[in-house]
Amino acid sequence: MRWKRTIQLLDVHAEGEIGRVAIGGVPKIPGDSIAAQLHWLNTDPKGDELRRFLCLEPRGAPIGSVNLLLPARHPEADAAFIILQPDQAHASSGSNSICVTTALLESGIVEMKEPETVVTLETAAGLVKAVATCRDGRCEKVRLTMVPSFVHELDVGIDTPHWGRIKADICYGGIFYALVDVGQINLTIEKANAAGLVQAGMILKELINRDIKVVHPEIPAISGVAYVMFRDTEADGTVRTCTTMWPGRADRSPCGTGNSANLATLYARGKAKVGDSFTSKSIIGSEFEVGLQAVTEVAGRPAVIPTITGRGFTFGLTQVALDPFDPHPGGFALTDVWGPSAGEI
């Protein structure tokens, strides 16, 4: 076979959310830091070509992510990674950190030690410490210590054509989120409402990014609201979430970075303190345990150190290849599957 490029992917999901991990064939990504490499992937045509190759059809699909394993730059890190999704490369993700940890240990790239293995992951947002519970060669669950999360602004008013004026919290949990109480759009977080939730999320994301500019005060490569996460709280304190993602789909997991951002709002409102923990449940009913480990500051802003605990499962091994005569080396997307905005790709 005359393949021009091959990349090996270990297929993993974390509580339902797919996070394939590129464990072989990853090309050299320019940049002297992971943040600089993220910037290159999002701004250079060659970086865009790699993302499209892996994430768009015929080799990719609207669901899930591809995690590029990279050599660590930080002396304390065991591995580094950047998340590729159909819209762009992203700095951080809880579910993808669980997928990457599971892949590193179950593939043998990082030696598994029972009953517990500590893996330090380097992301463009900073270091994520993963403590994996291991037994009989399997990674049973992963507890992540996430990067510092903080509030950009609470109760931001947004005028919408469908729901009138609603409020959102703009917060950072490794990437920027708009957090919206789901009752404001007259929906509940359940599988039957997935289409309505993601349609609302795409509308709100466009409105928010049009009017509100956010940039991380210490990492300029991280800017703009990446996702809208709808939330609700059940009678027993469980936080129900639905993170909406381009091109119009729901995160199948409870969302680690989204829950980190939400934890910052709870702390800011005096509803959470160090040592507290709660369950977060996704739209499909899968669960993360969310904890408030410590408080800190980011550029003078109060911030929290969240923990996220969940499970990763391997389900396949794929080799993605490019035939030099393939007429679609950069991939494509159609509105039938990818939604109305696919016409812009």
What pLDDT is stored for residue 119 in this prediction?
98
Residues 90 and 172 in one domain: no
pLDDT in tens, 234-259: 999 999 999 999 888 999 999 999 99
Selecting among 55, 65, 92, 93, the annotated active-site residue is 93
What pLDDT is stored for residue 2 in this prediction?
84
Using the predicted structure, report yes or no on whether residue 179 has a pLDDT greater than 80. yes
What pLDDT is stored for residue 311 in this prediction?
98
Residues 124 and 250 in one domain: no
Using the predicted structure, report yes or no on whether residue 320 has a pLDDT greater than 80. yes
What pLDDT is stored for residue 53 in this prediction?
95
pLDDT in tens, 6-20: 999 999 999 999 999
What pLDDT is stored for residue 340 in this prediction?
81
Residues 166 and 127 in one domain: no
Residues 161 and 300 in one domain: yes
E-assigned strands of 75-148?
Answer: 79-84, 89-90, 116-123, 126-135, 138-145
Place of tokens 């309505």: 196
Selecting among 55, 242, 255, 286, the annotated active-site residue is 255
Residue span of the structural domain in which 286 resides: 149-309
Burial of 313 (0-12, 13-18, 19+ CB in 10 A): middle
Residues 292 and 170 in one domain: yes
The CATH number for 340's domain is 3.10.310.10
pLDDT band at residue 203 under the 50/70/90 scheme: very high
Using the predicted structure, report yes or no on whether residue 343 has a pLDDT greater than 90. no
Residues 158 and 207 in one domain: yes
Residues 13 and 134 in one domain: yes
Q: Are 112 and 134 in contact (CB under 8 A)?
A: yes
Residues 80 and 187 in one domain: no
Using the predicted structure, report yes or no on whether residue 345 has a pLDDT greater than 80. no
What's the pTM? 0.96
Residues 188 and 284 in one domain: yes
Residues 30 and 158 in one domain: no
Beta-sheet pairing, 239-245 with 225-233: antiparallel
Using the predicted structure, report yes or no on whether residue 341 has a pLDDT greater than 90. no
Q: Cis link prior to 329 (omega < 30° from 0)?
A: no
Using the predicted structure, report yes or no on whether residue 344 has a pLDDT greater than 80. no
Number of domains in the chain: 2
95 in catalytic set: no
Residues 165 and 269 in one domain: yes
What pLDDT is stored for residue 85 in this prediction?
96
Q: How far is 19 from 96, CA to CA, in rounded Å?
A: 5
pLDDT band at residue 339 under the 50/70/90 scheme: confident
Burial of 153 (0-12, 13-18, 19+ CB in 10 A): exposed
93 in catalytic set: yes
Residues 16 and 111 in one domain: yes
What pLDDT is stored for residue 337 in this prediction?
87
